[in-house]
Amino acid sequence: MSRLAIARATYVAGAGISFLLSVYLWFTGSKEQGLYVGLWVPSILSFGTLMLGGRDE
């Protein structure tokens, strides 16, 4: 597995974990915290795109 593929998987996994944590917080009654953590998802994906943009395998 190349370094680029590992980096992509890391950003996607981070966003996925953030999403799952957001859903967990929302349904356990911490709605404000769930919304806050949910805002991390597009930020993580955008940061990953910024850092890996223009690189090919």
Distance CA 49, CA 8 (A): 9
pLDDT at 53: 86
> Model confidence at 57, in pLDDT bands (50, 70, 90)?
low
pLDDT at 24: 97
- At position 25, the amino acid (one-letter code) is L
Nearest in space to 24 (alpha carbons), one of 13, 11, 38, 14 = 38
Say whether pLDDT at 46 is over 80.
Answer: yes
The total number of residues written for the chain in this structure: 57
**Rounded to two decimals, what is the model's pTM?**
0.83
Mean pLDDT of 6-12: 94
